[in-house]
Structure 1
Amino acid sequence: MIIVVLRTIILYTLVIIALRLMGKREIGQLQPYELVVIIMISELAAIPTENVGIPLLSGIIPIMVLLLASVTLAWISLKSERARTVLCGSPSILIERGKILEQELKKNRYSLTDLLEELRIKNVPNIADVEFAVLETNGQLSVFPKSQNRPTIPKDFMLKTQYEGLPLTLIMDGALNQRNLQQGNKDLNWLMNELKKYNINRVEDVFLASLDTSNTLFVQAKNRS
């Protein structure tokens, strides 16, 4: 039993490392060759886990080979546009200048029902509002509304806006982030004085505290119940 547990932990750790080396992507963002690699790695890891009679190396070596192949293909696709087209395919325009391209739908085996469903997911319920719709190589649909139907932005009214950067998390679940505190040009005394305004006397009592670029502090205390 201990051997089975150890073999499972080793293979599990190896698979996690392999997926991390492949990059940070969601399942829906994977290219076809990446999805194939993930499926094969899961199968190769399952076989020696279920059968202790199979040497552990029989699962480790193929996984490493697949990982090497995946990283190599990813590197090649970064360097060569032609290779990227062969490995990943090319985007398909399903709606062009407000007109649905039936041939592209058939080519990609994409039904009108699928198209309308994806448009609703993108908060575009009326297909008449769409100027372009592009089916990306990862299967996701990019939608570009007609100019008169897109949401207005400050630039449309020639308004100048203030810079908005990323907020700094100063405290998370009672733990102080000293690095972010220094990055925000603040010190602990300032933070404690600000927390007292919320009737909080200890950092440990804070669930979340973040500082935005306008020096506005957001604070939420832990649930004391």
Structure 2
Amino acid sequence: MEIGIILFRTLFIYFIIIIVFRLMGKREIGQLSIVDFVVSIMIAEMAVISIESPEKPMMQSLLGIGVLLILQVFFAFVSLKSEKMRHIIDGKPSVIIDRGQIDETQMKKQRYNFDDLLIQLRENGVNKISDVEFAILEPTGKLSVIKKEEEENEDDPGSNLFPLPLVLDGKIQEQHLKRLGKTELWLRQELKKLGFRDLKKISFCSLEADGIFFIDLTEDD
């Protein structure tokens, strides 16, 4: 009888967890944030307790899984609306190599050493640090690498920058403008030329390497 209960609970919890992770959204395992990872471990632990302890009501585990699902969906919704909460929950990317220069200050902040850097550069098919224009440590721990172009445009240093969000959720990203050597006034004037006067209607805006703006408007508009 107990074996039958365990088999039933295993199958039932299996399908419940599939549904829960579908509702939580699609992310690759390597792209899970710290919060996603913690929630996944807690759900797995509750599932194991429910299967290994048939004498305990399964509703207890289902209740805990349901609470975690609600919290995860809530935080995901808040992250979509608030840049500050998104950074708190998911973290921010860190530029480890900036225009060919290693930023050791950022490495220390992230407790990231040169062995880590070299390993992840090799994983990206890069053997020499001198070949790297930018290396960004993502919140997931993955290193995104942008190699140097064979011929750099010396007349326009900004053309060698990776696309930085200049407007995010209707807010100007001043630190990214400084990296480009531009001002908020310049950005507003350029957007006005393109017919965009209200920045709150822009969900994402970046300056591509060819000097063309990529602009995405909020769905409400």
Q: C-alpha root-mean-square deviation of aligned residues, in Å?
A: 1.4
Which secondary structure state, in structure 2, belongs to the residue aligned with residue 134 of structure 1?
Answer: strand
Which secondary structure state, in structure 2, belongs to the residue aligned with residue 123 of structure 1?
Answer: coil
Say whether residues 1:44 and 2:43 are aligned partners: no
Which secondary structure state, in structure 1, belongs to the residue aligned with residue 96 of structure 2?
Answer: strand
Measured against aligned partners, the alpha-carbon deviations of 1:158-177 in whole angstroms (never above 9, x if no partner) come to xxxxxxxxxxxxxxxxxxxx
Deviation of 1:149 (Å)? 7.5
The correspondence of residues 52-201 of structure 1 with structure 2, limited to 5 A, is 52-148=54-150
Quick check: 1:33–1:87 contact (8 Å CA) kept in 2? yes
Percent identity of equivalent pairs: 47
d(CA) in 2 for partners of 1:87 and 1:4? 36
Deviation of 1:3 (Å)? 1.2
d(CA) in 2 for partners of 1:109 and 1:80? 27
Aligned length: 150
Deviation of 1:76 (Å)? 0.7
Deviation of 1:113 (Å)? 0.8
d(CA) in 1 for partners of 2:18 and 2:38? 16
Structure 1 59/125 Cα, relative in aligned 2: closer, same or farther at 3 Å?
Answer: same
What TM-score, normalized by structure 1, do the two folds share? 0.64
Structure 1 51/90 Cα, relative in aligned 2: closer, same or farther at 3 Å?
Answer: same
Measured against aligned partners, the alpha-carbon deviations of 1:167-210 in whole angstroms (never above 9, x if no partner) come to xxxxxxxxxxxxxxxxxxxxxxxxxxxxxxxxxxxxxxxxxxxx
Q: Which amino acid aligns with 1:87?
A: I
Structure 1 118/47 Cα, relative in aligned 2: closer, same or farther at 3 Å?
Answer: same
Deviation of 1:59 (Å)? 0.6
Deviation of 1:109 (Å)? 1.2
d(CA) in 1 for partners of 2:48 and 2:70? 20
d(CA) in 2 for partners of 1:91 and 1:149? 27
Q: Which amino acid aligns with 2:107?
A: L
Quick check: 1:131–1:145 contact (8 Å CA) kept in 2? yes
d(CA) in 2 for partners of 1:87 and 1:106? 21
Deviation of 1:89 (Å)? 1.2
Q: Which runs of 5+ in 1 are unaligned?
A: 151-225
Measured against aligned partners, the alpha-carbon deviations of 1:40-63 in whole angstroms (never above 9, x if no partner) come to 000011001001111100110000
d(CA) in 2 for partners of 1:13 and 1:57? 15
d(CA) in 2 for partners of 1:134 and 1:149? 22
Moved more, 58-67 or 138-147: 138-147
Structure 1 110/96 Cα, relative in aligned 2: closer, same or farther at 3 Å?
Answer: same
Report runs of 4+ in structure 1 exceeding 6 Å deviation.
Answer: none
Quick check: 1:129–1:149 contact (8 Å CA) kept in 2? no
Q: Which runs of 5+ in 2 are unaligned?
A: 153-221
d(CA) in 2 for partners of 1:24 and 1:54? 32
